[in-house]
Amino acid sequence: MLAQSYLSQVMSIPLLSSYPYIAMLSGSILFFTLNCASIVKNVLRVSFFL
């Protein structure tokens, strides 16, 4: 369980560091990228509580 927590924390670092680059996008690419980022963030959050 503890290893899974560390794994989700390590995997969330690139996601959080990419937010400034996501802000430079626009239109449908922005929509698609935000949806993917949201899905990844929610999956990591759920895997932390399992």
- pLDDT at residue 39 is higher than 70: yes
Between CA 40 and CA 49 the distance in angstroms is 15
- The better pLDDT of the pair 21, 9 is held by 21
Domain ranges within the chain, ordered by starting residue: 2-49
Q: What tens digit of pLDDT does each residue of 13-30 get?
A: 887 888 888 889 999 999
Q: What is the pLDDT of residue 2?
A: 61
pTM: 0.63
Q: What b/e readout covers 7-26, taking b as 16+ CB neighbours within 10 angstroms?
A: ebeeeeeeeeeeeeeeeeee
Q: What is the pLDDT of residue 4?
A: 63
Q: Where does 1-50 have alpha helices with state H?
A: 2-17, 19-22, 27-49
- pLDDT at residue 38 is higher than 60: yes
